[in-house]
Amino acid sequence: MSHSVPPSTGHRGALRPSALLTALLVSVGSYALMQTMIVPALPVLTRELDTDPSTAGWLITAFMLGSAVLTPVVGSLGDRYGHRRMMLVSLGVFLLSTLGAAFAPGVPFLIVMRAFEGISMATLPLALTLIREKMPPERTVSAFGLTSAMIGGGAGLGMVVGGLLIDSASWRWMFGVESVLIAIALLLVVVYVPETSRQRTGHTATPARLDLPGAILLAASMSALLLAVTQGSAWGWGSGRVIGLFVLAAVLLAALGTVETRRAAPLVDIRLLRHGPMFVTTVATLLIGAIPFLFYVLLPPLLQTPESAGAPYGHGLSVIEAGLLLLPGAIGTMIAGRLGPMLSHRFGARAPLFAAMALMAAGGVLMAVWHGSVLQIGVIFVLVGFGSGFGFAALASLVAKIVPRRDLAAGNSLNTVVRTIGSAIGSQLATVLLQSSIVSSTGLPTDDAFGQGFWLAGGLGVAGIVLTVALRVHPYESAGAPTGAVDTAKAGAV
């Protein structure tokens, strides 16, 4: 029998919703900063660690890969041992790996530490579950929107903070400063976050064992897919190695689907994808993960290339100047995250998602056509920032409306994993576009490479608009789901 833990602040006094939300926001924000803080440092790391751009790109990919694999594992353990406890474990591993990165002797060790840092992504689904369980009902929707918006806003702020630290100190200080923030998050969780009752997994009274086969298949399939995307230009897209990796990824994903549908408590509950609205929402999640990262990877070199380098697009900004130019877009992400629930309440659950896709599509098209001045880039990126914020708010709201309460942890876990995979694919696609069009005389990408990347972002946004129009939101009714959970989901459905 599961035992409910009374709502308390650790062991001290009554629950304080504002303090609880602050602790969760700082925890999620520490992850959000770290996912992009390293982006402006890639040229510096490539030079100082004596490596090549393709290898340096794995400092982003390893983080995303670690997130995709470790997040559902931690979520499953949260169902079994408690979500607060696993939040503390996640932040602890995050802190240790970040300190390890600060003292990394070389790029291989740094890539490994970045993979372990990926566990920090688990703070998002854990935070959403804690909000659902512990926040007053009247504050749940706004807390969902704010927490989800922290992801996009923190990602934008991460580029600014990373640029500032690189300009004024060593790249190692990025990880040192981040370690302080993680330590603060740990302390806040210890003091202000109560434990949830242990969740029932599947339809049994006690949580099932960890889905180790699912974790292995997920890690192997994502590694094969991302390695193929990363090395496609270097090895040749038609080479046996690249084709073999794509085939291997497809086979492993098929095996993952087979294994997960047969388990009572799967690591990634693919059965949710049998429900049409959840399937469409998941594909939209993939796009919302990919599109912003196309901009995150493409814009720094576009802005920082010196005008004297011989490229037609050089703007000659410093790292910090480029980060400050993108800061309004990051602020727009957080504002849109707060506006998302209001938009949903007034115009329906699909409205924030439609706004997200429309704004990011417009941003991609406009950036492809006009990126000749710093002012144009800054203004257009604000559109992308608002789109990203609406997207993050929409995903949290849609999953809550579609998935019954008993399956909410599984739905958030699936949503988080898919968005992380989208982010990894988006960053790698942008890297591949830049590396595949290097001008031998300058060693820099062509202007067409940036244009193609922005057109790709616009096209993905248009695809997202089509998906949104096709989406019909109604709750998923799993076999054996409690009537109350289904009724609750129906009450919020459109």
Q: pLDDT tens digit string along 12-25?
A: 446 788 889 999 99
244 and 296 share one domain:
no
Phi-psi region of 273 (alpha: psi -120 to 50; beta: other; left: phi over 0): alpha
249 and 275 share one domain:
no
Region of poorest pLDDT, from 78-82, 176-180, 440-444? 440-444
Per-residue model confidence (pLDDT) at position 293:
87
* Stretch 132-155: mean pLDDT: 78
Structural domain includes residue 188: yes
Q: Report the SS3 class of residue 8.
A: strand
Per-residue model confidence (pLDDT) at position 373:
87
The residues, ordered by sequence, that sit 6+ positions from 135 with a Cβ below 8 Å of its Cβ are 17, 20, 21, 143
Of 293, 283, 287, 282, which Cα lies nearest the Cα of 461? 287
196 and 107 share one domain:
yes
> Is pLDDT at 280 greater than 80 in this prediction?
yes
* Stretch 216-245: mean pLDDT: 83
**In this structure, what are the phi and psi dihedrals at residue 439, rounded to the nearest 5 degrees?**
-85, 120
Alpha-helical (H) ranges within 370-479 are: 374-402, 408-435, 447-470
Q: Report the SS3 class of residue 14.
A: strand
> Is pLDDT at 294 greater than 60 in this prediction?
yes
Q: Tokens standing for 184?
A: 């603060």
79 and 128 share one domain:
yes
For residue 375, how many C-alpha atoms fall within 13 Å in the half-sphere facing its CB?
0
> Is pLDDT at 2 greater than 60 in this prediction?
no
81 and 219 share one domain:
no
**Dihedral, CA atoms, 301, 307, 312, 315, nearest 10 degrees?**
50
Of 262, 284, 302, which residue is a domain's last? 262
Reported as a single tens digit per residue, the pLDDT across 482-491 is: 333 333 333 3
E-strand stretches of 290-357: none
165 and 182 share one domain:
yes
* Stretch 175-179: mean pLDDT: 94
* Stretch 167-189: mean pLDDT: 91
Structural domain includes residue 12: no
The residues, ordered by sequence, that sit 6+ positions from 459 with a Cβ below 8 Å of its Cβ are 361, 364
Structural domain includes residue 154: yes
**In this structure, what are the phi and psi dihedrals at residue 438, rounded to the nearest 5 degrees?**
-75, 135
228 and 100 share one domain:
no
Region of poorest pLDDT, from 6-20, 272-286, 355-369? 6-20
Range 267-301 burial, b when 16+ CB lie within 10 A, else e: bbbbbbbebebbebbbbbbbbbbbbbbbbbbbbbb
C-beta separation of 177 from 157 below 8 A: no
Read off the pLDDT band of 3 (50, 70, 90).
very low
Structural domain includes residue 1: no
Read off the pLDDT band of 311 (50, 70, 90).
low
296 and 216 share one domain:
no
Per-residue model confidence (pLDDT) at position 339:
85
Of 262, 295, 326, which residue is a domain's last? 262
288 and 412 share one domain:
yes
C-beta separation of 298 from 42 below 8 A: no
Per-residue model confidence (pLDDT) at position 309:
57
- Number of domains, the chain: 2
Question: Domain containing 194: what range?
Answer: 17-211+263-491
Of 92 and 170, the structure prediction assigns the larger pLDDT to 92
C-beta separation of 334 from 32 below 8 A: no
Of 266 and 121, the structure prediction assigns the larger pLDDT to 121
249 and 281 share one domain:
no
Read off the pLDDT band of 358 (50, 70, 90).
very high
Across the chain, mean pLDDT equals 81
Region of poorest pLDDT, from 23-37, 334-348, 352-366, 466-480? 466-480
Structural domain includes residue 9: no
Structural domain includes residue 319: yes
For the chain, percent of residues with pLDDT exceeding 90: 28
CA distances from 16 to 31, 53, 85, 93, 140 (A): 23, 47, 18, 27, 14
99 and 227 share one domain:
no
Of 241, 262, 283, which residue is a domain's last? 262
Structural domain includes residue 2: no
> Is pLDDT at 129 greater than 80 in this prediction?
yes
Per-residue model confidence (pLDDT) at position 198:
55
User: For every residue of 420-450, which 3-state class applies, written as one string?
Assistant: HHHHHHHHHHHHHHHHCCEECCCCEECHHHH
Of 383, 358, 357, which Cα lies nearest the Cα of 370? 383
Read off the pLDDT band of 48 (50, 70, 90).
confident
Structural domain includes residue 8: no
161 and 182 share one domain:
yes
Per-residue model confidence (pLDDT) at position 479:
41
Per-residue model confidence (pLDDT) at position 477:
63
CATH code, 268: 1.20.1250.20
Reported as a single tens digit per residue, the pLDDT across 191-215 is: 999 877 654 444 444 455 677 888 8
Region of poorest pLDDT, from 34-43, 66-75, 130-139, 264-273? 264-273
pTM confidence score = 0.77
Bridge partners of residue 191, in order along the sequence: none
* Stretch 88-108: mean pLDDT: 94
> Is pLDDT at 126 greater than 60 in this prediction?
yes
Of 459 and 157, the structure prediction assigns the larger pLDDT to 459
Q: Tokens standing for 244?
A: 């073999």
* Stretch 444-463: mean pLDDT: 91
